Amino acid sequence: MSDVADAALVDDEAAVVRITASGICGSDLHIYDGHGFSPTTGYTLGHEAVGIVEEVGPAVHTVRPGDRVLVTASVACGRCSPCGHGHITLCETGESGCWGLGHALPGTQAEALAVPAADRNLVPLPEALSDAAGIVLTDNLPTAWYGARRGRCGPGDTVAVVGLGPVGLLSVLSAQVMGAARVLAIDLVPGRRAAAAALGAEPIDAEDVRAAVTEATGGRGVDVALEAVGADATVTLALDLAGREGRVSIVGVNQSMDFRMRMVLAQLKCLEIHIGLCSVQHELPTLMRLATAGRIDPSVVVTHTMDLAEGPDAYALFASRAEGVGKILLRA
Q: Which residues bind ligand NAD (CB under 6 A)?
A: 25-27, 29-30, 98, 139, 143, 162-168, 186-189, 192, 228-231, 233-234, 251-253, 277-278, 321
Q: Using the minimum distance from each CB to ligand NAD, give the nearer residue, 68 or 150.
A: 150
- Under the binding rule (CB under 5 A), the answer on residue 141 touching Zn ion is no
Report how far Cα 271 is from the mean position of its chain's Cα atoms: 24
Q: What is the DSSP code (8-state) at residue 310?
A: G
In sequence order, what are the residues at sequence separation of 6 or more whose Cβ sits closer than 8 angstroms to the Cβ of residue 80?
91, 92, 93, 96
From the list 95-103, 237-245, 255-263, 288-296, the region that binds Zn ion by CB under 5 A is 95-103
Helix locations, 247-310, DSSP H: 263-268, 280-292
Instruction: Report, in Å, the least distance between residue 63 CB and Zn ion.
Output: 19
Q: Of how many residues is the chain composed?
A: 332
Total residues contacting Zn ion by CB under 5 A comes to 9
Among 104, 170, 119, smallest CA distance to 140 is for: 170
From ligand NAD, Zn ion, none, which one binds at residue 97 (CB under 5 to 8 Å depending on kind)?
none
Whether 251 and 279 have beta carbons less than 8 Å apart is answered as: no
Binds 17: which of ligand NAD, Zn ion, none (CB < 5-8 Å by kind): none
Please list every residue from 220 through 239 that binds Zn ion, using CB under 5 A: none
User: Residue 176 and residue 297: Cα distance in Å, rounded?
Assistant: 12
Out of 49, 77, 110, 186, point to the residue binding Zn ion (CB under 5 A). Answer: 77
Q: Are 226 and 251 in contact (CB under 8 A)?
A: yes
Return the one option of Zn ion, ligand NAD, none that residue 167 interacts with (CB less than 5 to 8 A, by type): ligand NAD
Q: What angle do CA 320, 325, 330 make, to 5 degrees?
A: 95
Residue placing its CB nearer to ligand NAD in the complex, 25 or 241: 25
Report if residue 80 touches Zn ion, rule: CB under 5 A. Answer: yes
Q: How many angstroms separate the CA atoms of 302 and 154, rounded?
A: 27
The H-or-E segment that residue 81 falls in is helix 81-84
- The smaller minimum CB distance to ligand NAD, of residues 44 and 171, is found at 171
In the complex, minimum distance from the CB of residue 189 to ligand NAD, in angstroms, rounded to a whole number: 5
The option from ligand NAD, Zn ion, none interacting with 213 (CB < 5 to 8 A, set by class) reads none
Task: Please report whether residue 25 would count as binding Zn ion according to CB under 5 A.
Answer: yes
Using CB under 5 A as the binding rule, whether residue 131 contacts Zn ion is answered as no
Q: Does 70 bind Zn ion (CB under 5 A)?
A: no
Contacts 24+ apart (CB under 8 A), 126-130: 126/288, 126/292, 127/68, 128/292, 129/291, 129/292, 129/298, 130/299
Contact 144, 164 (CB under 8 A): no
Which of the listed partners (ligand NAD, Zn ion, none) does 77 bind, with a CB threshold of 5 to 8 Å by partner kind? Zn ion
In angstroms, the CA 313 to CA 217 distance is 42
Q: Which is nearer to ligand NAD, 31 or 114 (CB)?
A: 31
Q: Which does 80 bind (CB under 5 to 8 A by kind): Zn ion, ligand NAD, none?
A: Zn ion
189 or 194: whose CB is closer to ligand NAD?
189
Choose between 143 and 158: whose C-beta lies nearer to ligand NAD. Answer: 143
